[in-house]
A = this chain, B = another copy of it.
Amino acid sequence: MLETGRATVRLVKLASVVLLAAAAAAAFSPGALAQAGNVKLEWITWSFFRITSPAGKVIITNPFITGNPDAAAGIRLEEVGTPNLILVTDAHRDEVGDAVAIAKASGARIVTPSFEFGNLLAGWGVPEAQVMRRNPGGRFAWEGITIRVVGSVHGSGGTDPGSKFPVYGGIAAGFVVTFENGYTLYFMGSSAATQDMALWAELYKPDAMIFLMSGFTEPLDAATAIKLVAGKSPSLKTLIPHHQRVAPPPGAITVADVRKALDSMGVSIPITSLAPKQSVELKK
């Protein structure tokens, strides 16, 4: 089922996961990559993902290009194309990334982690009609896609040229996205593990989870987040790490560290370790 691959890519074959080729350098053309009826997910770098729904809608997350130390491995701003929706998990510079420029250029709407973040976006020039202010516990529904905003144990301070100190972006969030075919993806953002992850898993039954592997993440914490979700969502079959994985700092957490921690907790779900610009097809 593996359609193409790259020599540098660690391949994973699973019933629920099909790795696809890295996107072409030209602007993203989801129709050419996604099989009808499946979700296609491409990891660009960092926590920047480009996701195509079964019906061809494009959602991007945390589009960090400018200033991203791993940007050379990813895509250029002009390759982002015209997403329909942008999800940003908090106001940190590496999560906001180029969201403002992309929204202005594409007309894409941004679903916010909290009300305050919407005010930052408006202050930075995103037209009000594109700012979908939500808070944890809220939802955004659009053309068969339902997005639940859930909590995140993380800060949300933005960078603004007019302020010496971080500007307050409300509280951080994660997103649970349910696509037209019912496939459900939980993107935890930069959260620490919290018991509330078990609540969200019980309510929304994610099939896949994008989990945090920041340089300094404690592997036991990452594994606990996964364990909490897996314990309440038997359909969880796919785990995808995010964050500074291209050139991690010395002593940084590795996929093997998380694997070991998961094994010690009795969680056997495989980790799908994507290369930059590599895609995976997600099947129910």
Contacts and interface: CB of A to CB of B under 8 A. Distances in A.
A217 B137 contact: yes
Nearest to A251: B141
Interface string A220-231: 111011000000
Contacts of A194: 151, 196, 199
Interface residues of A, number: 56
B218 A114 contact: no
B116 A192 contact: no
Interface of A: 92, 114-116, 119-120, 123, 134-141, 148, 150-151, 153-155, 157-158, 160, 162-171, 190-196, 198-199, 203-204, 212, 214, 216-218, 220-222, 224-225, 251
Contact of A136 (B140, B192, B198): B192
B224 A199 contact: yes
Contacts of A155: 114-116, 135, 168, 170-171
21 contacts: A115-B155, A116-B155, A120-B166, A135-B190, A135-B192, A136-B154, A136-B192, A137-B191, A139-B216, A139-B217, A148-B221, A151-B194, A153-B171, A154-B171, A155-B168, A157-B170, A162-B164, A165-B167, A166-B167, A195-B198, A203-B220
Contacts of A192: 135-138, 150-151, 196
Given A194-B151, A194-B196, A218 B119 contact: no
Which of A116, A203, A225 counts the most chain B CB atoms within 10 A? A116
Contact of A212 (B119, B137, B167): B137
Nearest 3 pairs of A and B residues by beta carbon: A137-B192, A155-B170, A136-B192
A160 B148 CA distance: 30
A174 to B, nearest CB: 11
A150 B195 CA distance: 13
A198 B195 CA distance: 9
B119 A165 contact: yes
B157 A116 contact: yes
